[in-house]
Amino acid sequence: MKATILMSKCLTVLGIESSCDETAASVVRLSVSDDDAHTLSNVVHSQTADHAIYGGVVPELAARAHISHIDGLIKRAMSDANLKFHQLDGVAVTAGPGLVGGLLVGMMSAKAIAMAHDLPFIGVNHLEGHALTPGLTQGLKPPYLLLLVSGGHTQIVSVDAIGQYKRLGTTIDDALGEAFDKTAKLLNLGYPGGPAVEQAAQSGDESRFKFPRPLKGKEGCDFSFSGLKTAVRQQAQKLDDISQTDVSDICAGFQRAVVDTVTDRLGNAMDMFADAHGNVEQKTLVVAGGVAANQHLRNGLDYICHDKNYHLIVPPIELCTDNAAMIAYVGALRLARGDVDGLDMSARARWPLDPDGVPMPFAGVKA
């Protein structure tokens, strides 16, 4: 809803993130005149070790951990920013998409602070946080192209303006981070799978096993990783006594297939974006999500950006993964425009960034 906000030169917003297995709190200060922002504090508690034994995130355990840590993290974020609650201009929180149990923990905490201190409340789309992060880190303003690659989502989005997003492509089944995690679990490499697969691949022969490149050469920008994941499992099952060399070669071949697939799909999206934004002299590709840490993928993105004359921006890795600074930043941007939410707002397990994007039946919330 729209609200009349008494504007000062700066807006200071507390952000809270609890959509998956990171509990986070941050304070961001935004200059209203030019949307220039500074992070005053940013704290994160990761639950990776808690879920590693299960090979993935267990929603109930994640929600309980959020409950245990969120108050202390909020207190620390406010202390690091040297602020009291009455000095805030608003409270922002991830309202979706994500695991509902975790979302509820963050939302109830944010609502309580907003109510107790009579502050505006802003429920933020987690994906919008990723989409607008380069505005916080590099001062980048739309329009630009976004590649979001994480355990929960794999999408290509045209960021046309703040609040205006067009999904050009999405996964039709698995997210890329999910494919990494499942490959690592199959090969007993541990969790999280992305860093483990990348490390194993460093000593591997990427040409030994011929894995498919799903949808490569096809029209459009959608992704599919289910068939690639199946091919990896079938190859591993063919090897009677799998050695460390076999594991490294499988990981290297898998990683090569991923990069070839992503850059092919992204190439189509770059052409589509260029056609729609011909007046943008320097076109930019932004990459966000935990998989953005993969150096092999970054090398592939460097190559295609050079080929297509795009500038590549990858925010610092701590702001590529789940964090509250991006939530506070989006909250401040919305607050500056008088766009706030009521305390009756509900958590949303699925919340597409592009409301007109066609849902993919086998991708669920990942689309």
pLDDT score recorded for residue 284: 98
- Are residue 256 and residue 346 in the same domain, yes or no? no
- Angle at the Cα of 63 from the Cα atoms of 290 and 53, rounded to 5 degrees: 65
Residue 177 in any domain: the answer is yes
Looking at the fold, whether 211 and 252 belong to one and the same domain comes out as yes
Q: Are 183 and 55 in the same domain?
A: no
* Whether residue 165 is found in the same domain as residue 306: yes
> Is the domain of 161 the same as that of 258?
yes
Q: Do 123 and 224 have their domain in common? A: no
104 and 183 housed in the same domain: no
Please state, in angstroms and as integers, the Cα–Cα distance from residue 327 to each residue in 24, 104, 110, 148, 281, following that order. 10, 15, 12, 16, 29
Domain that holds residue 15: 10-138+319-352
Task: Decide if 360 is inside a domain.
Answer: no
pLDDT digits (tens, 9 = 90+) for 210-237: 999 999 999 999 999 999 999 999 999 9
Asked if 296 and 188 sit in the same domain, the reply is yes
Whether 125 and 205 share a structural domain:
no
pLDDT in tens, 42-88: 999 999 888 988 888 999 999 999 999 999 999 999 999 999 999 99
Per-residue pLDDT tens over the stretch 142-181: 999 999 998 788 999 999 999 999 999 999 999 999 999 9
Mean pLDDT of 325-353: 96
Total Cβ atoms within 10 A of residue 174: 24
- Does 162 lie in the same domain as 88? no
In-domain check, residue 209: yes
Does residue 108 register a pLDDT over 60?
yes
On whether residue 2 sits in a domain, the answer given is: no
Residue 5 reports pLDDT greater than 90: no
